[in-house]
Structure 1
């Protein structure tokens, strides 16, 4: 099943099935591990309060991890923090716990009860407690003990779980599909419609946009972040090459042996670690480089410290026997070419105060000490300097607004007569769940609106956006199906529509329960 769900995870049917799986897990978690805490205080605080009843942090964590695990099974991969946030896993966990608590309370007010026999039957039917298809009391006890749950607690939780299921089912059972709803669905499936439409895209109206100096200034003022030039710096720096130091140092046999032992993994052969005797010269060269690099860093650190107070980079460089180099102004996103690969140096440079001596910073090229030569803070340039960019962006935005406005005006004209408009026609087409409208493209919104239009209201209430284009649509003609066929398929159609109607009834009921309840959410908990 998981393989199927991964393959079709974008399907609306799979999304509904997934929702049912998650809800069933959450209901069990909540009822097994905690039924709320109506007492004040509490060592762990709370995740939410519903009419004074607390949902503990422990309940929330267990709900969250179980839902996360379901997602990971469905998608076949671990969820990154970004994916979790995008899917709203934490919010889903808490929302479902709140729903479960509200439903349990409402079930009591509805007079719904669960007998001991119903609880026993539900537990006996659980595959986890069965052997060869029959309930096994010993296995039941062992599993509960391993989970640190007493039989009394588990059975109480199952009783409340059944209470929730009964309440939900009662709301579903009360939902009915009327003859009128079935007829509308029948006509939607069988009728054919032909639409007239008028459309506008920004490109169609762009040449109509003429912006004054005042409008451009106002646009720049309201979009400063989009045009702000980033901070720029130029630096002076001195670079000490460790190779110059390495040529002047020596290593003892003991230092070579110690380096070999500390870095033994570097000296691998086909048969494993190579003996010291075979690689001694290699080790010596590596040990010299390491010692030279260490001394170069220490020399640079000493030079920087000696001249730190006066921030005298030239003097520090002279004491190291190197020259000072300078860069032109550059940004963090587009560093000076000579420093393009020096990530750590650039990071430190942008945090350095002007006039302060920085370093040492060790990179693959050597050891740097440096100083900010010039700093230009981030700022919005004058309009005169960036007029072309501002005008282009402003015209683009205004064209989008104008395209929508023209579609709204065209829709008003279509509703009256529309004879002065240059209209297109879709031709006759039937309802498609994919939302593919002839001559227009994929638009589930237009598809739904098209089959809701009739002679009494032939024009849509609002224009629709498809891509960057806005459409005003009007019903030109509707070919109605023979309703004699409706009587033959009415009952079957009602059964097809019933699950959706039941879900809508359940959703509306839960929404009403939430509206009436006083719910306090620990917002930082789900904002992480």
Structure 2
């Protein structure tokens, strides 16, 4: 309830923002069916009709907004990848091509939408409504914001309705029978009893030999393999505000002066503790007024809260909402609470975004100014940071000047700003030492001017008040490692391959014996193997390896097969029994959901097949996918 009261006043803003986001998606979606601009500015051409670069940019921005809304911070990271964003743009173009193909097919089929259907659709857009009713001024304002005229938008809606008519009438005609969904659901809940003999590749590693000739042959067979990345050795200077703080001194007089000059900063605001009773529904105000009379007549506020408050969480505590500063709660509630004259008084009924309240003031903590002793450490830290920042920027300017004036050395700059020239031996970018592992710093360290010309970099900002200057003292280009450098690596790889082959051969021998109906008891003991039994395994069971689970559900009872496991081991999987599942009444909602999802899946498959068929006969030319 507390979170609702604090956030409730913002709900209408959120709803409006979401409304405009949804509308922008809708507008962009239907806009994309219209034909593009002149051929010279075309991103692509579909059966002789252009898709303009402007149209592509609009579709791209729509897709970008959709992904950002879904992925949040993850999308911010992805958006820095040029290859990913280019792929996103190409995907938007693919969608536009598909939409043009469908629009052409719909036109060829003669599907039409009447003016009244278009009008009804426009009147139904929530983003054009105020208080649930269509508002023409709002409609025109939104279209104007999108750069559209009413006639253009009407045509867009007409095309979109025709497409939807086709989808509803043809693509959506796929059928999934209830019994089919029930059968598939029952199969998904089926369990099986299995036994598994696992042959571990690791048991054979020490039993296989790898010759020098085999190692050299592998090395020679991969002339582009076994590459060492480029490496650079770096001398660098690091300057940060944090590192300068210990050298800064702040006097008691400075602290005292700051306290006097900034007294308002150290005031504690008044806090009030309250209890409330919440009433909701059409007659909420009347109920609140009736309850107020009962309280004024002597009934205990807490008892009424427990019996009648719709805020069930606080009701169990007699309506208690704890301590709050002014401006934290819902505006209407907040104003009434801080207008109550004295502890014990009850105000109400008070209207808020959640209904009507009776509010009881149960405590007051008067505002006061913290003493100097209470805030001395806080002020000292604040002044120390400020002084360190001032010193940092002064030293940064000096560092930047001297690093530029003496590009072949960091010594003079280091002496002038009181820093130590630090050194890092050769390292690859992928294994950068933590001290230098900042994207912008590594970009500079591996730049042509630094690694080849061996001159000082510019001042590089690694973070707020944290900079570096780097220079290369050595550089190694990417090169193929020598055989001696990779001999141990190749030997281990070949041993692993041979051990895996031995494990697979042993598992195959076991499978052959089982299929020949031989008694394998003694053979299993000789080879240090055994069967493990797993009863009641389901399709997503984590107690067996994924490959074992897949094998168990691909066989009939009594079947057995050899499977390769992800870690190089091999296993023989045998199905001992299958336990069917009979759906119960409580499973029906899930079965209904399965039926719906299967229908959606088939609709999607049908749509893709239809698009693929259109593409096979279409004349599609892509000219330019760059930003328009």
TM bracket (short chain): 0.5 to 0.7
The Cα shift of 1:408 comes to 7.4
Q: Please list, as runs of the form range in 1=range in 2, the aligned pairs for 1:378-457 lying within 5 A after superposition.
A: 379-384=479-484, 386-396=486-496, 399=499, 420=520, 424-425=531-532, 427-429=534-536, 431-432=538-539, 435-437=540-542, 439-441=543-545, 443=546, 447=549, 450-454=552-556
Q: Give me the whole-angstrom Cα distance separating, in 2, the residues matched to 1:295 and 1:499.
A: 65
Change (3 A) 1:178 1:212: farther
Asked if 1:80 corresponds to 2:181, the answer is no
User: In 2 relative to 1, CA 142–204 (structure 1 residues): closer, same or farther, beyond 3 Å?
Assistant: same
Map 1:205-220 to 2 at 5 A: 205-220=204-219
What's the CA shift string for 1:103-160, capped at 9, x where partnerless?
2223234443322222111111100111222222332223223322111110110111
Q: Which has the higher mean CA deviation after the structures are superposed, 413-422 or 143-152?
A: 413-422
Per-residue CA deviations over 1:367-397 (Å, capped at 9, x if unaligned) read x9x998x987654454345422331244345
3-state SS of paired residue (1:436) = coil
User: Does the 8 Å contact 1:129/1:139 carry over to 2?
Assistant: yes
**Aligned residues between the structures:** 426
Could you tell me how far apart the structure 1 residues matched to 2:149 and 2:494 are? 68
> 1:41 maps to what in 2?
39
In structure 2, the residue matched to 1:463 is 563
1:158 maps to 2:154? no
Q: Does the 8 Å CA contact 1:27/1:161 hold for their aligned counterparts?
A: no
Unaligned runs of 5+ in 2: 1-20, 238-257, 263-390, 410-422, 461-468
Matches within 5 A, 1:253-402: 330=426, 351-352=451-452, 359=455, 379-384=479-484, 386-396=486-496, 399=499
The answer on whether the counterparts of 2:445 and 2:472 sit within 8 Å (CA) in structure 1 is no
Contact 2:191–2:537, Cα closer than 8 Å, also in 1:
yes
Decide whether aligned partners of structure 1 residues 191 and 54 sit closer, same or farther in structure 2, where only a CA change above 3 A counts. Answer: same
Deviations 1:65-86 (A, max 9, x none): 2222222222333733635656
Do residues 62 (structure 1) and 58 (structure 2) align?
Answer: yes
C-alpha separation between the residues in 2 aligned to 1:386 and 1:211?
A: 14
Distance 1:503 1:340 in 2: 46
Aligned to 1:463, the other structure's residue is in SS state strand
Report the CA distance between 1:446 and its aligned residue. Answer: 5.8
Structure 1 residue 480 corresponds to structure 2 residue 580: yes
| Contact kept in structure 2, 1:114 and 1:163, CA below 8 Å | yes
Q: Which deviations, in whole Å up to 9, do the C-alpha atoms of 1:245-264 show, x marking residues without a partner?
A: xxxxxxxxxxxxxxxxxxxx
Instruction: Please tell me whether the aligned partners of residues 199 and 571 of structure 2 are also in contact (alpha carbons under 8 angstroms).
Output: yes
Question: Which one is further off, 401-410 or 467-476?
Answer: 401-410
Closer, same or farther in 2 for the Cα pair 1:115/1:329, shift >3 Å? Answer: closer
Q: Does residue 1:90 correspond to 2:89, yes or no?
A: yes
Whole-angstrom CA distance in 1 between matches of 2:33 and 2:123: 22
SS in 2 for 1:36: coil
Q: Which runs of 5+ in 1 are unaligned?
A: 1-21, 240-268, 273-284, 305-312, 314-326
2:68 alignment partner, SS class: helix
Distance in 1 separating the partners of 2:626 and 2:56: 9
Q: Distance in 2 between matches of 1:297 and 1:484?
A: 78
Deviations 1:174-196 (A, max 9, x none): 21225884464144045332234
Q: Show the counterpart of 1:503.
A: 604
Is the 1:191–1:481 Cα contact (8 Å) retained in structure 2?
Answer: yes
Residue 178 of structure 2 corresponds to residue 192 of structure 1: no
Where 1:477 maps in the other structure, the secondary structure is strand
Report if aligned partners of 2:89, 2:625 keep a CA contact under 8 Å in 1: no
Shift of 1:498: 3.1
* Partners of 1:96 and 1:23 in 2: CA distance: 19
- Show the counterpart of 1:18: none
Structure 2 distance, partners of 1:469, 1:200, is 6
Within 2, Cα distance between the matches of 1:518 and 1:423? 62
CA contact (8 A) 2:195 2:532 kept: yes
Larger % of strand: which? 2
**Rounded Cα–Cα distance in structure 2 between residues aligned with 1:106 and 1:351:** 58
- Judge conservation of contact 1:112–1:163 (CA < 8 Å) in 2: yes
Matched with 1:322 is none
Q: How far 1:481 moved relative to its partner?
A: 4.5
Contact 2:564/2:570 (<8 A) preserved: yes
CA gap of 1:511–1:347, structure 2 versus 1, over 3 A, is closer
Q: Which residue of 1 aligns with 2:12?
A: none
> Following the alignment from structure 1 to structure 2, what is the Cα–Cα distance between the partners of residues 491 and 297?
71
Length-normalised TM-score, structure 2: 0.52
Q: What is the CA deviation profile of residues 159-213 of structure 1, one whole-angstrom value per residue up to 9, with x for unaligned ones?
A: 1111222222234432122588446414404533223434455424433543222
Q: Which has the higher contact order (CA 8 A, sep 6+)?
A: 2
Per-residue CA deviations over 1:246-297 (Å, capped at 9, x if unaligned) read xxxxxxxxxxxxxxxxxxxxxxx9979xxxxxxxxxxxx9999999989977
Cα distance, 1:346 vs. partner? 8.4
Alpha-carbon contact 2:450-2:472 (below 8 Å) kept: no
Give yes or no for contact 2:400–2:458 (8 Å, CA) kept in 1. no
- Residue 176 (structure 2) aligns with: 177
Contact 1:196 1:476 in 2 (8 A): yes
Distance 1:232 1:430, change over 3 A: closer
| 2:191–2:578 contact (8 Å) kept in structure 1 | yes
Tell me the SS of whatever aligns to 2:89.
helix
| SS of equivalent to 1:55 | strand
- Aligned equivalent of 1:115: 114
Question: Normalising to structure 1: TM-score of the pair?
Answer: 0.60
Q: CA deviation at 1:404?
A: 6.5
Kindly report the root-mean-square deviation, in angstroms, between the aligned alpha carbons of the 2 structures.
Answer: 5.6
SS in 1 for 2:95: helix
